[in-house]
């Protein structure tokens, strides 16, 4: 086997629970394969939170990652009562690792209900936007709101990266899974961006699938997929589903890729009940190290380790999660068996001819959209009330009289309640009044005047400008709104 002569420095975060056992297994196998890596061990997670650092990620860990740009990471916990944000999310956001890549493939010796069907697919999940931006508000003690933020730029980055990965791995079928039929603006942005970029790859069969049907199809006929590109929340759920198709979390590796930094980790968490018991399956972490080796250009060593894992499984050497207690081996014995099998491969496993991925270089200027004409045509005011829709509608119409705006409708939870429709609604205490401008010239002072009037009658909680971009409305209509 040929390994490169150069030494790569990698930040190693052992993590919590079973983390130290699975990262140790991965590190020993990488070292045994002869790859020259200097491991810089650093802390993050539970112990750091307990020392009082609210992010769970100390500065020396951040400094190390800024230098090495490559991380092999065990699972991290946020202990109850310490820190508000997860250290995992902190790392993803600090280093803008915008893509979460989760490959799954049927493995020899790992029986599942799908064995023999040749599952071999990768979920490419947007990793920093969507509901995971973590922007939440209690509008009132009764109504919670989480912002689903999706940017054109974020979509373009993940779609371009997915195609680069498809090319590196020789995949010719790429599906984009969204809920664009319901969330036409946010999920729709991912669908539209995908449909704009897909024609640049005529050699690849690109198609869109609604995410709920994607889940259904994955259970029914998973072999039809080679790659699924999707938004953050969809990808979180779909990729756990796909892990289960090939044997469970013990076999699911992942890469968090950014333009500067890449973090490789198992999909699973710290599995605390197995910590220190020498029984956890380290395959997911070992295969994450394989993804890391490909990322740093150690393609042959990566394939050698992958082949050794498959040969070991095919020999029937497996951990408790596959076999139960009867006949299984512990984490350390399994690791030794893989090291002993370096240089072997499994008959039932044909290695994919994978190239090093050419990470796309995002051009921030090019991916921002600048419309020629932006027009303010109204205002949505969200407010707290326990009054009836009829009383609210009449009051909103009265207070807008003589202002730059006229009230168009009032809605609750997305359904118009004034003027009355046939909707049978169980109202909450947050409603929205939609105001439309009376003329094309409306100033900020007009908006503030409307809010002043509104506030005399109702407590407003937030507002959104209604605008058109080159004539296209930038907002959705309420259910029942004309």
Is residue 156 exposed (0-12), middle (13-18) or buried (19+ Cβ within 10 Å)? buried
- Distance (Å, whole) CA 67 – CA 62: 9
The per-residue b/e assignment along 117-153, b for 16 or more CB within 10 angstroms, e otherwise, is eebbbbbbbbbbbbbbbeeeeebbeebeeeebbbbeb
- Distance (Å, whole) CA 261 – CA 70: 6
Site for ligand NAP in 227-286 (CB under 6 A): 248-250, 265, 268-271, 280-281, 284
Q: Provide the minimum distance between the beta carbon of 281 and ligand NAP in the complex, in angstroms, as a whole number.
A: 3
Residue pair 209/177 in contact (Cβ under 8 Å)? The answer is yes
In the block, which residue shows the tokens 């409603």?
Answer: 431
Interacting span for ligand NAP (CB under 6 A) from 74-82, 173-181, 391-399, 409-417: 74-82
Residue pair 45/12 in contact (Cβ under 8 Å)? The answer is no
Q: Provide the minimum distance between the beta carbon of 243 and ligand NAP in the complex, in angstroms, as a whole number.
A: 9
Mark whether 130 is an active-site residue: no
Write down the catalytic residue from 16, 120, 130, 236: 236
Closer of 250 and 378 to ligand NAP (Cβ) = 250
Mark whether 157 is an active-site residue: no
- Distance (Å, whole) CA 138 – CA 429: 12
Q: Provide the minimum distance between the beta carbon of 76 and ligand NAP in the complex, in angstroms, as a whole number.
A: 4
Strands 143-146 and 136-140 turn out to be: antiparallel
Quote the DSSP letter at residue 103: E
Closer of 153 and 320 to ligand NAP (Cβ) = 320
Mark whether 236 is an active-site residue: yes
Question: Which residue's beta carbon is nearest to the bound ligand NAP?
Answer: 269
Q: Provide the minimum distance between the beta carbon of 154 and ligand NAP in the complex, in angstroms, as a whole number.
A: 21
Among 24, 43, 77, 120, binds ligand NAP (CB under 6 A): 77
CA distances from 137 to 67, 142, 143 (A): 36, 11, 9
Q: Provide the minimum distance between the beta carbon of 49 and ligand NAP in the complex, in angstroms, as a whole number.
A: 11
Among 55, 61, 68, 88, binds ligand NAP (CB under 6 A): 88
Closer of 32 and 323 to ligand NAP (Cβ) = 323
Closest CA to 335 of 309, 303, 370: 309
Write down the catalytic residue from 132, 163, 274, 334: 132
Is residue 76 near ligand NAP by the rule CB under 6 A?
yes
Helix (H, G, I), strand (E, B) or coil at 196: helix
In the block, which residue shows the tokens 């100390």?
Answer: 58
Closer of 193 and 281 to ligand NAP (Cβ) = 281
Closer of 298 and 321 to ligand NAP (Cβ) = 321
Closer of 17 and 360 to ligand NAP (Cβ) = 17
The per-residue b/e assignment along 390-405, b for 16 or more CB within 10 angstroms, e otherwise, is eebbebbbebbeebbb
Mark whether 132 is an active-site residue: yes
Site for ligand NAP in 305-364 (CB under 6 A): 321
Interacting span for ligand NAP (CB under 6 A) from 52-60, 71-79, 216-224, 369-377: 71-79
Q: Provide the minimum distance between the beta carbon of 157 and ligand NAP in the complex, in angstroms, as a whole number.
A: 21
Residues serving a catalytic function are 132, 179, 212, 236
Binding site for ligand NAP (CB under 6 A): 75-78, 88, 248-250, 265, 268-271, 280-281, 284, 321
């Amino acid at each position: 086997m040929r390994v490169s002569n150069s030494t790569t420095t990698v930040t190693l975060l052992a993590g919590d629970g079973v983390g130290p056992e699975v990262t140790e297994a991965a590190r020993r196998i990488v070292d045994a394969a002869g790859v020259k890596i200097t491991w810089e061990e650093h802390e993050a997670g539970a112990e750091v939170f307990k020392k009082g650092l609210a992010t769970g990620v100390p500065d020396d860990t951040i400094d190390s990652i800024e230098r090495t740009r490559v991380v092999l990471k065990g699972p991290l916990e946020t202990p109850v009562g310490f820190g508000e944000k997860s250290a995992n999310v902190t790392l993803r956001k600090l280093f803008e690792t915008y893509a979460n890549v989760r490959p799954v493939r049927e493995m020899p010796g790992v029986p599942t209900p799908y064995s023999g069907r040749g599952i071999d697919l990768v979920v490419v999940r947007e990793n920093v936007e969507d509901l995971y931006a973590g922007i939440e508000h209690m509008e009132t003690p009764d109504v919670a709101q989480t912002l689903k933020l999706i940017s054109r730029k974020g979509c373009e980055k993940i779609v371009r990266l997915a195609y680069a990965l498809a090319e590196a791995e020789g995949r010719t079928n790429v599906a984009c899974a969204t809920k664009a039929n319901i969330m036409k603006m946010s999920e729709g942005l991912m669908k539209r961006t995908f449909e704009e970029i897909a024609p640049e790859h005529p050699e690849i069969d690109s198609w869109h699938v609604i995410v709920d049907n994607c889940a259904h199809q994955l259970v029914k006929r998973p072999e039809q997929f080679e790659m699924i590109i999707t938004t953050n929340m969809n990808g979180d759920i779909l990729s756990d589903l796909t892990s289960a198709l090939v044997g469970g979390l013990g076999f699911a590796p992942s890469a968090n890729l950014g333009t500067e930094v890449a973090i490789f980790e198992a999909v699973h968490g710290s599995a605390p009940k197995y910590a220190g018991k020498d029984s956890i399956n380290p395959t997911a972490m070992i295969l994450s190290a394989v993804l890391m080796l490909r990322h740093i250009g150690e393609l042959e060593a990566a394939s050698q380790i992958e082949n050794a894992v498959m040969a070991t499984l095919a020999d029937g050497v497996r951990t408790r999660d596959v076999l139960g207690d009867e006949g299984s081996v512990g984490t350390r014995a399994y690791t030794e068996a893989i090291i002993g099998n370096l240089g072997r491969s499994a008959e039932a496993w044909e290695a994919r001819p994978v190239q090093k991925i050419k990470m796309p270089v995002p051009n921030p200027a090019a991916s921002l959209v600048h419309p020629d004409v932006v027009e303010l045509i109204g205002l949505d005011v969200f407010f707290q009330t326990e009054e009836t829709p009829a009383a609210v509608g009449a009051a909103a119409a009265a207070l807008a009289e003589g202002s730059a705006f006229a009230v168009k409708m009032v809605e609750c939870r997305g359904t118009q309640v004034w003027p009355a429709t046939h909707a049978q609604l169980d109202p909450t205490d947050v409603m929205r009044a939609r105001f439309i401008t009376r003329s094309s010239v409306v100033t900020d002072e007009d908006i503030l005047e409307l809010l002043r009037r509104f506030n005399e009658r109702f407590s407003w909680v937030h507002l959104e400008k209604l605008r058109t971009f080159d004539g296209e409305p930038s907002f959705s209509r309420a259910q029942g709104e004309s």
